[in-house]
Chains A and B, each alone.
Chain A
């Protein structure tokens, strides 16, 4: 195992400035500071990590090119997972979209493809995320609001109508009922004539971060983990190009974590999934190449870049050294990035375009595989078509005009970025040790450890903003009274009426006995050790609804 850098104090003690640097400090810098003191006594990143005035060779005394960096596409992949990075192929521009009815969202997805988007990403509404049909009493007021409503195969067929599923990849943000929604997608694709061996995409399917951060969970941890394991194994065998899970730090950061917490909890979740799947008997080399990740891109440019670089390095070492994998594809941390929703301000919303640009730049300089850029109006509502187009254009300008894609890992070798990458790695590994000591991530979640760490960080940040130690332009500084409204997308209750009518028709017209038999099959399988995916696919084919399938598993003791 390569030696990790020591504590900060040790690092500082080890720091041996060169003769010329020392001379500069004494003879040039010191008198200058006497005359021109700096703006603040201390400079920190957004996550409160101290940042020094200057980084030099002396900060990288313990740095080893082959060990810490290596060439692109080589272990530990700090410089990127591909040999030529964006010179070979740009990242996938994948705008997260979904609202209203499946018809509404289908139109938006087609529009985005026409505008040059290169991948699809579907947002589902809260009832769907929680495994309720649109006509469930708890769905009232929520249908189609935060995403698209999908209650059955019929809705998915409408949603995907006319989309080229063999050539475009689709990501779906769905977690607790991920197995059911994925099965619905697979059957809809099959009915369009798409081959499961050719299609590709991603189901988020990361239940651990739901307990930690986003809190959209239906079932307790153990049965939830079983569903995740079943989908990973089914995917490895039947849908070989699918990413059955996207292990997500995005929501952890949105809940208020620091960059290091986001990184550490996400990768430690990844370790947990590898352990659970490998206990079922499948070799890690067989399924790990399809594990994918999802990170946030916040405002602090260098902190974010260091986070992505450290993520690749840590994951490569974990897979090789902790799990003994030999397949280089299992070592690669492939990830999607989304700019930080929590950084968007409701005040002066056009400022969000600038924030999003900086964040997107961080993701690109950090070597992301795909990217979503938020729209300027998203502190208020789901984006209008105009706002969503501008967000996509942001990526296109970065890709085709800024020049940052012309070379691999442009910041490699920067004293600051390399030092920050090393420190981010070290801090994340500290968290690994604490979570291992608690008995792993499921145990740590049950003890509330990551939840408390995140809440404390979120509260500290809020207080820092209120004390004006951290600035948010337009919110606690440079405030104006200008409250000119921007155009917002409004989703009214006609969506729920439309969905409920379609559901009533579906329930009338489908073969009720076939639905019942398929749901019984699922219930029986849930009581056994069998993989649940084939049974779920049967329910979907019979047009059982999402709510009906989830209800089978909601019954205590069903899984």
Chain B
């Protein structure tokens, strides 16, 4: 069997264009040997879910800084679940206040990375939670 790399979709939903974090994480995951698909800016939840299915990814990383996470993130999870991708690891990074984390995790978010998180932590987390197939 050919070598399988962890496949990650890095998604930037909402109207915000601040992509410094998303692009740094995408590059760090690539440097760590993962296959990364970056959606580009201003993707709707529907576009993100469609990309996750089409690219058959192991994980989806959602970058959001605008404060719209309580509206946008649950919708992405709903769509992923509806299309049978319950097993896809979903992580969120950006400006997410502590008090919103519990609710996001209830919808199925595996982890939230707040400002100051290191790319190494993110790489480690994905590796620990996505089983690399033999």
Contact = CB atoms under 8 A, between A and B. Distances in A.
A146 interface: yes
Contacts of A485: 98-99
B14 A141 contact: yes
B27 A459 contact: yes
Contact of A380 (B66, B95, B118): B95
A462 B117 CA distance: 10
B23 interface: yes
Contact of B119 (A139, A345, A347, A462): A462
Contacts of B15: 126-127, 129-130, 132, 138-139, 142, 216
A217 B114 CA distance: 27
A491 interface: yes
Interface in B63-82: 66-68, 70-72
Nearest to A255: B20
Contacts of B66: 126, 142, 145-146
B19 interface: yes
Interface string A136-165: 001111100110000000000000000000
Contacts of A345: 115-116
Contacts of A140: 68, 71
Interface in B1-59: 14-20, 23-24, 27-28, 41, 44
A346 B17 contact: no
B68 A141 contact: yes
B14 A142 contact: yes
B116 A214 contact: no
A141 B72 contact: yes
Given A459-B24, A462-B119, A485-B98, A214 B17 contact: yes
Given A142-B14, A459-B27, A215 B19 contact: yes
Contacts of A472: 116
Nearest to B64: A141
Contact of B20 (A132, A145, A254, A380): A254
A347 B118 CA distance: 13
Given A141-B72, A347-B116, A491 B67 contact: yes
Chain A interface helix/strand/loop/mixed: loop
Is the interface on chain A under 10, 10 to 19, 20 to 34, or 35 or more residues?
35 or more
B120 interface: yes
B14 A126 contact: yes
Interface string B86-97: 000000000101
Interface in A211-225: 214-217
A466 B119 contact: yes
A210 B41 CA distance: 13
B106 to A, nearest CB: 18
A459 B119 CA distance: 10
B118 A466 contact: yes
B119 to A, nearest CB: 7
Interface string A501-542: 000000000000000000000000000000000000000000
Nearest to B115: A346
A76 interface: no
B119 A210 contact: no
Contacts of B70: 141
25 contacts: A126-B16, A126-B66, A129-B15, A141-B70, A142-B16, A142-B68, A146-B16, A210-B17, A214-B17, A214-B18, A215-B19, A217-B17, A255-B18, A256-B24, A345-B115, A346-B114, A379-B95, A455-B23, A458-B20, A459-B27, A462-B24, A462-B119, A475-B116, A485-B98, A491-B67
Interface of A: 126-127, 129-130, 132, 138-142, 145-146, 210, 214-217, 254-256, 342, 345-347, 379-381, 455, 458-459, 462, 465-466, 472, 475-476, 483, 485, 488, 491, 493
3 shortest A-B CB distances, which residue pairs? A215-B17, A141-B71, A141-B68
